[in-house]
Chains A and B, each alone.
Chain A
Amino acid sequence: MTRRTASWIVVVLLAVIGLLPVLSMVFSTFHTEAGFSFEGYRQMLHTPSLWQSFGNSLLLAFTVASAATLAGTFLGILLEKTTLYFRKIWLALLLIPLLIPPYILAYGWYMLVGREGAWGEILFGFWGTACILFSVYLPIAILITSVSLRTIDPRFEEAGLLVCPWRCVLSKITLVLMLPSAMVSFLLIFILSMGEFSVANFLRYDIFPMESFIQFSAFYDFRTATLYAMPLLAIVLVILGIESLLFKKGALRFKSRTERLTIPLHALQIPFLVLIGTFILIIIGMPLYGLMHSIDAQSFIHALHKAAPALGQSLLYALLSALLLVFFGFATAYIIVYRTIKGWRVLDAMNLFWFILPATVIGIALILFWNRPYTNIIYASPLIILFGYLVKYLFLSSKIIELRLSQIPRSFMEAAQLTGASWYQILLYILLPLSSGSLAAAGMIGFVFSLRESTLTMLVAPAGTATLPVYIFTQMANGSEATVASLCLIMLLIVILPLLGLSGYTAYQGKKYDHA
C-alpha cells in the first residue's frame, strides 16, 4: 500500500465518522415531506425568544473570550518568558479548570456562596456564568500564548534590547509578533464559550445551545433540535473562514525554537508571586474549597460506591477513545506535516472545525446519521460515544503530535530512505519511536478530555450507559450536596492522577533526548 492510499483511507474513515453526519444534518433541515423547503428556517427567524437567548450567548462568549485572551496573554508571558519562581506549578494549577467538567466549578461556587443573597444572585446569572467560563477557558489563552512565545526568534528581541529595555521590547516587538496568536485565542475561546452549556444550565442563564438540547431531550423534537443547531454551525463556519483568511499560513501551526530569552523580574518577583497566588486562590482555590468543606469520609465512600459503575464505564470509554485519538491523531498529523495528499489543508481545517463545533451539534449530527436500522450496531452501542470523542478531540491529539513531527529533521527520514526503508518502515522505526513522548501526551490529553466530556455523552449515550460526568450532572439535580461534592472530588482525582503520571513521563523523555 502506498503512503498516498493509506492517507486517503484515513481521510475517508474520518469523513464517514464525522463529516457525513454533519452534512446529512444540514441537508435534513431543508428536507420536508413536501420536498426542499426553507420553512423551518423561516419559523426559526420568527421566534423572538430564540434570538434573545442567541444574543445572550453572543454577549457571554464575547465577554469570556475578551477577558480570557487579555488575562491569558499576560499570564502566558509571565509564566513562559519571565524568571518568576515556581512557573510550572502555577501553570499546572491554572490548567485544572480546563481538565474537569466545567459545571464542577459552578457547583463549587454554589456550595460556597449559595443561591440566596447578593453573591448568589451574581453567581446565578450572566456574571457568574461568565466568570466560571473565564476560568475554564483561560488555560487555552495561556497555552496558546506560551506556544506562540516559543516560536518567536530571539534575535528579534535581542535586536530590540540593544536600543530599549524589556518593557519596550515586550510592547513594541514581542506583543506585536504575538497578535495573530492572541486573535486565535479570542476566536477559539469565543466559539467554545458559545457552545458550552452545562455551566449556564446549572446557573439558570438562558443561552442558545440549551434551546437545541431542550428540543432534543425534553420534547424529542429532532427536527427543531437540528434546526436550532444550525446558527451555531454557521458561527463555527464564519470563525473558520476568519481564521483561514487572517492566517493563510496557519496560525495554529507551530514550530518550537530551542533558544529563548527570559525577562528577569528582580524587584517585581514578590509582587507577581502574590498576584498570581491570589488569582489562583480565587479562581480555583475558592470553588474547590466550596466542594471540599462539605465532604466527609462517609459521604465520600458512599459516593464512590454509588458511582462505581459510571466510573468504570468512564475509564473504559476514555481509554478506548485515547487509543483512537492517538491512532488518528498520528495519522492526521503525519498527513499534515508531510503533506502526503493534496487535500491536507482541508483535513487540518476539518480537525479545527470539529473541535470548535459545539458538542450539542456533533451529538445531534451523529444521532441523525447513525440512527438507522442498518447502522444500529453503532447507534445502540458505545461506538457512537467513541466516534463523538474522536471527532471532538482529534484536533488536540493531532496538534500535539504535529508539533513533535515538525521538529524531527527531514534528514532523519531521508537518511532512512537512502537505505531502502519504505514509508511505513520509516514510520515504524524512525518517526514512531522519536515521537513516543508526544503520542503519550496525546493519549493522555485525549483520555482526560474524553473523561471530562458530558454534553456530547448525555446526547449520544445509549440506554443504560452513564459516564461519571453524566452521572454527576444528573445527581446535581436530585442528589445530596455532600454526595455531589464527593463525586466532583472523585472526578477531579481521576483527571489529575494520570496527568501527574504524564508529566513524569514527559520529563523523563525530555531528559532522554535533550542532547540529541
Chain B
Amino acid sequence: MITLRNITLTRDHKTVFDRFDLHIETGERLVIRGESGSGKTTLLRLIAGFIAPGKGEIIMERKTVTRDSSILVPPDRRNVSMLFQDLALWPHLDVKGNIEFGMRIRKMDRTEREAKVKSLLKMVGLEQYEARRIDTLSGGEQQRIALARALALSPKVLLMDEPLSSLDSERNRMLRKEIVRLQETLGFTLVYVTHNREEARKIATREVEIKS
C-alpha cells in the first residue's frame, strides 16, 4: 500500500504538484495518464525515492519513506523497481550483466544468481540471450531485458515510465499482454505511466488522470 499525502512540489518556479493525494492498493495495476509535462514521471521518481517534494509525505507499507524535503528511506530499501522510458540498459554490460547487477551488489550466491538470470530470461522469452551485447538487441528485445532486470530482485512495486512508447503497435500489444501476465503471476503492485488511453485501458485495474 502506497499513500502520497498532501504532496507539493515546485520546480524552476513552477508548481508541479499542489497538495496532491494518491492512494495505491497492494497488487493493483494503477495507470497514471496525463499530458506531457503534467508530472507523471516526477510522480514515479517521488515514489522511487529519487527526489523529495517540498511538502507532503509518502507512506509505503505503513512506514513514512519521504517527509517534506527529506528522503527517510533510500530507493534501494523501498523494494521498488522501475522500467525507465529510455530503458537505461547499461551498454558496457551484456544481457546477463545487466540482469544480475543488483544480485551481485546484494552478494547473492553465484549459483542462485545464474539460476535466477536463466529463469528471468525464460520468463521474458529470451533464453538464449545471456551473452548478447545490449546494442545487438532489437527495441522489443531490449524492453524485455529491461523488464527482466526490473524483476530480478522480486520487487513489491514495479514502476513503469511509458515503457512501450517506442514500440510499433504489434509489439506494444504483445508486451502489454506480457506485463499483465507477469503482474498476475508475480503479484507485484504496478504503477504504469502512459499518455495512451488505449494502452491504459488494456493494462489498468484502475486509472488516474493528472492534469498540469
Chain A residues in contact with chain B, CB under 8 A?
409, 411-412, 414-421, 425, 429-430, 433-434, 513-516
**Does B92 reach chain A (CB closer than 8 Å)?**
yes
A323: min CB distance to chain B, Å? 22
Q: Which 6 interchain pairs have the tightest Cβ spacing?
A: A419-B102, A516-B91, A411-B88, A420-B76, A515-B135, A411-B84
**Residues on the B chain within 8 Å of A420, using CB:** 76-77, 102, 105-106, 153
**Residues on the B chain within 8 Å of A513, using CB:** 91-92, 135
User: Is the beta-carbon distance between B75 and A418 smaller than 8 angstroms?
Assistant: yes
A28: min CB distance to chain B, Å? 45
**Does B134 reach chain A (CB closer than 8 Å)?**
yes
B2: min CB distance to chain A, Å? 15
**Residues on the B chain within 8 Å of A417, using CB:** 50, 74-76
Contact with A along B160-195 (1 / 0, CB 8 A): 000000000000000000000000000000000000
Q: A429-B101, A515-B135 are in contact. Are A415 and B75 (CB under 8 A)?
A: no
B112: min CB distance to chain A, Å? 16
A438: min CB distance to chain B, Å? 13
**Residues on the B chain within 8 Å of A433, using CB:** 92
A426 closest partner in B (C-beta): B105
User: Is the beta-carbon distance between B80 and A419 smaller than 8 angstroms?
Assistant: no
User: Is the beta-carbon distance between B76 and A415 smaller than 8 angstroms?
Assistant: no
Which of B75, B81, B91 contacts A434, CB < 8 Å? B91
A424: min CB distance to chain B, Å? 11
User: Is the beta-carbon distance between B105 and A434 smaller than 8 angstroms?
Assistant: no
User: Is the beta-carbon distance between B90 and A418 smaller than 8 angstroms?
Assistant: no
Q: A411-B87, A415-B82, A418-B81 are in contact. List 19 more A-B contacts (CB 8 A).
A: A411-B85, A412-B88, A415-B84, A415-B90, A416-B101, A418-B75, A418-B76, A419-B76, A419-B101, A419-B102, A419-B153, A420-B76, A420-B102, A421-B76, A421-B102, A429-B101, A513-B91, A513-B92, A515-B136
**Does B48 reach chain A (CB closer than 8 Å)?**
yes
**Residues on the B chain within 8 Å of A434, using CB:** 90-92
Range of interface residues on B (Cβ < 8 Å): 20 to 34
Which of B50, B105, B135 contacts A419, CB < 8 Å? B105
**Does B86 reach chain A (CB closer than 8 Å)?**
yes
Scoring A420, A434, A516 by chain B CB atoms within 10 A of each residue's CB, the highest score goes to A420
**Does B40 reach chain A (CB closer than 8 Å)?**
no
A429 and B45 alpha carbons, distance in the complex (Å): 23
**Residues on the A chain within 8 Å of B92, using CB:** 433-434, 513
**Does B149 reach chain A (CB closer than 8 Å)?**
yes
Which of A409, A412, A414 contacts B82, CB < 8 Å? A414
User: Is the beta-carbon distance between B105 and A418 smaller than 8 angstroms?
Assistant: no
**Residues on the B chain within 8 Å of A416, using CB:** 90, 101-102, 105
A433 and B97 alpha carbons, distance in the complex (Å): 13
B120: min CB distance to chain A, Å? 14
A513 and B149 alpha carbons, distance in the complex (Å): 20
The contact sample of 15 A-B pairs, CB cut-off 8 A, is A411-B87, A414-B84, A414-B88, A418-B75, A418-B81, A419-B102, A420-B102, A420-B106, A420-B153, A429-B101, A434-B91, A434-B92, A513-B92, A514-B135, A515-B135
Residue pairs across A and B with CB atoms within 8 Å: the count is 69
**Residues on the B chain within 8 Å of A414, using CB:** 45, 48, 50, 75, 82, 84, 88
Scoring B91, B102, B106, B149 by chain A CB atoms within 10 A of each residue's CB, the highest score goes to B91
**Residues on the A chain within 8 Å of B102, using CB:** 416, 418-421
Scoring A419, A420, A514 by chain B CB atoms within 10 A of each residue's CB, the highest score goes to A419
B155 closest partner in A (C-beta): A418
A416 and B74 alpha carbons, distance in the complex (Å): 13
**Residues on the A chain within 8 Å of B136, using CB:** 515
A382 and B115 alpha carbons, distance in the complex (Å): 54
B34: min CB distance to chain A, Å? 20
**Residues on the B chain within 8 Å of A419, using CB:** 76, 101-102, 105-106, 152-153
**Residues on the B chain within 8 Å of A425, using CB:** 105
**Residues on the A chain within 8 Å of B87, using CB:** 411
B83 closest partner in A (C-beta): A415
**Residues on the B chain within 8 Å of A412, using CB:** 88, 90
A419 and B98 alpha carbons, distance in the complex (Å): 11
Which of A409, A418, A429 contacts B86, CB < 8 Å? A409
A383 and B200 alpha carbons, distance in the complex (Å): 63
B13: min CB distance to chain A, Å? 15
A418 and B45 alpha carbons, distance in the complex (Å): 11
Contact with A along B49-83 (1 / 0, CB 8 A): 01000000000000000000000001111001110
Scoring B45, B50, B92 by chain A CB atoms within 10 A of each residue's CB, the highest score goes to B92
User: Is the beta-carbon distance between B84 and A516 smaller than 8 angstroms?
Assistant: no
User: Is the beta-carbon distance between B82 and A418 smaller than 8 angstroms?
Assistant: yes
B57: min CB distance to chain A, Å? 21
A433 and B88 alpha carbons, distance in the complex (Å): 15
**Residues on the A chain within 8 Å of B88, using CB:** 409, 411-412, 414-415
A210: min CB distance to chain B, Å? 50
A415 and B152 alpha carbons, distance in the complex (Å): 12
B46: min CB distance to chain A, Å? 13
B83: min CB distance to chain A, Å? 9
B78 closest partner in A (C-beta): A418
**Residues on the B chain within 8 Å of A409, using CB:** 86, 88
User: Is the beta-carbon distance between B134 and A516 smaller than 8 angstroms?
Assistant: yes
User: Is the beta-carbon distance between B135 and A516 smaller than 8 angstroms?
Assistant: yes
**Residues on the A chain within 8 Å of B82, using CB:** 414-415, 418
User: Is the beta-carbon distance between A418 and B101 smaller than 8 angstroms?
Assistant: no
A513 and B87 alpha carbons, distance in the complex (Å): 16
